[in-house]
């Protein structure tokens, strides 16, 4: 028969390895362990990390004074800040995303997954 090539053992091994790598890539990309959300707070060369379900009040020092960040009921917010414009305080409570107090060099971000990760936030409405 002309035009038909025999399938050899190395060909079969290459197909099995290719299929295995494809499946491994799929599981690595789409099946991730459930990570709990955490809050990362930064200010004046210091960093704090707390789980989002913690109950914490953090006094973060900055060049203008202390910024008070609260974590409660899976929400994070800037309770008070010594900056003049108070934009960070006006941001309110967040469940995901980040807030920065630029005049006082304080920043926090909610990282990881939580139950509201796929829901629209306040800006979307």
Three-state SS across 72-124?
Answer: ECCEEEEEECCCCCCHHHHCCCECCEEEEECCCCEEEEEECECCCCCCCCCCC
Domains along the sequence of the chain with CATH: 38-111 (2.60.320.10)
pLDDT in tens, the chain (125 residues): 566 778 899 999 999 999 999 988 887 777 666 567 899 999 988 999 999 999 999 999 999 999 999 999 999 999 999 999 999 999 999 998 999 999 999 999 998 765 544 555 555 55
């Amino acid at each position: 028969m002309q035009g038909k090539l025999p399938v050899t053992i190395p060909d079969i091994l290459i197909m099995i390895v290719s299929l295995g790598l494809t499946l491994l890539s799929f599981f690595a990309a789409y099946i991730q362990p459930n990570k709990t959300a955490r809050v990362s707070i930064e200010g004046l060369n210091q960093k704090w990390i707390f789980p989002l379900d913690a109950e914490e009040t953090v006094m973060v020092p900055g060049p203008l004074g202390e910024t008070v960040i609260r974590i409660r009921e899976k929400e994070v917010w800037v309770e008070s800040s010594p900056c003049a414009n108070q934009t960070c305080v006006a941001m309110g409570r967040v469940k995901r995303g980040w807030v920065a107090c630029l005049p006082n060099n304080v920043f926090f971000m909610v990282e990881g997954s939580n139950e509201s990760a796929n829901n629209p936030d306040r800006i979307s409405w």
